[in-house]
Amino acid sequence: MKHDALTEGVYYILLSLQQPLHGYGIMQNVSDLSNGRVTLAAGTLYGALNTLIKKEWIVQISDEGPKGKKEYMITAEGKDVLKKELIRLTELVENGNKIIGG
Amino acid sequence: MTKVVNKVFLMSDYDKEEQWLNEMADKGFVLTKVIYTKYYFEETKRRYKVRLSYMPKKYKAFISFLEESGAHYIGRTNNWGYFSKEITQENPTFEIYSDNQSKLNQINRVLKVMGGFTVACSLFIIAVTLYFLITYHSLAGKWGLSLIPLAIVWILYSIITVILIYKRQHLIKEREIFE
């Protein structure tokens, strides 16, 4: 399978969903993980979550009534994508360090 | 104090509309209701940021998702959703879309509808013109005149669609280097 680069947002969403989280929890976690550098706005996150569900990289695991907060969690396929992305990112960083790094 | 302002914005000028609503908010008038071109404001001492979003298909799920993140849903007109959020020191800003791709997805949703209208209007004008030409062998007279308002609507739709396509191209260009 050809593997394209993930966006920063998708990468951090998948990292956050190693544990079940609802939308606002994901937004806070992504901001914390990146020390406030990456902020996901709610509409952007909404679209990304729907795309990831369609790709079956994450699933929605709870929906308690119409006002209940929906929680999301990574799937085995999502974990696989994340691992491959980590290998790709490591390659980028290693090559960068080798050529211009200290 | 409630303030009502009548103002017309094209579908393609949603960014100008948003800017105006935020200028009003900065002056202490926060948007509380929109009915087509009628904007209702309430005077406030608090600071608010107002954002627009062209709603996705399942707009109720979208609204509750945004409400969960602390945004307040004001209302919906022409499928544009209006949201506000109080600005504090901890939350100094409010955005609905934070990346290029989601802004592009939004403009694609608007274009789908406006482009559809433009094509439908074009086909209707062609059909009416052909009907007049075949039945009356001319476009003169009061029947032919009915084409004028149709043509004006068509021109308006086309202008909006062209502006949207232009804005879309701009977003795509920005994405070529940065993701």
Span B72-118, pLDDT tens digits: 999 999 999 999 999 999 888 999 999 999 999 999 999 999 999 99
- Label residue A3 by pLDDT band (50, 70, 90): low
pLDDT of B178: 67
User: Per-residue pLDDT for A72 more than 90?
Assistant: yes
Q: How far is CA B161 from CA A8, B1, B113, in A?
A: 31, 38, 9
| Inter-chain residue contact B101 with A42, CB threshold 8 Å | no
- Label residue B136 by pLDDT band (50, 70, 90): confident
Backbone angles phi, psi at A68, to 5 degrees: -70, 145
pLDDT of A64: 63
ipTM value for the complex: 0.87
- Label residue B167 by pLDDT band (50, 70, 90): very high
Q: How far is CA B36 from CA B108, B162, B175, in A?
A: 22, 22, 33
| Inter-chain residue contact A7 with B56, CB threshold 8 Å | no
Q: Which of A36-50, A56-70, B113-127 has the lowest mean pLDDT?
A: A56-70
The mean predicted confidence, pLDDT, of chain A is 91
H or E segment at B49?
strand B48-54
Contact B168, B115 (CB under 8 A): no
Task: List the single residue in A with minimal CA-CA distance to B95.
Answer: A41
pTM of the model: 0.90
The mean predicted confidence, pLDDT, of chain B is 92
Task: List the single residue in A with minimal CA-CA distance to B62.
Answer: A46
> Is B71's Cβ below 8 Å from some Cβ in A?
yes
User: Per-residue pLDDT for A67 more than 60?
Assistant: no
User: Per-residue pLDDT for A65 more than 80?
Assistant: no
User: Helices in chain A by DSSP H: which ranges?
Assistant: 8-16, 23-33, 42-54, 76-100
Above pLDDT 90, what percent of chain B? 79
What b/e string do you get for A50-66 counting C-beta neighbours within 10 Å, with b at 16 or more? bebeeeebbeeeeeeee
| Inter-chain residue contact B68 with A9, CB threshold 8 Å | no
- Choose from A26, A27, A46 for mutation: most chain B CBs within 10 A: A46
Q: How far is CA B179 from CA A5, A14, A38, B19, in A?
A: 10, 17, 12, 25
pLDDT of A66: 52
Give me Rg for the CA atoms of chain B: 20
- Choose from A44, A64, A69, A71 for mutation: most chain B CBs within 10 A: A44
Q: pLDDT tens digits for A19-32?
A: 999 999 999 999 99
- Label residue A43 by pLDDT band (50, 70, 90): very high
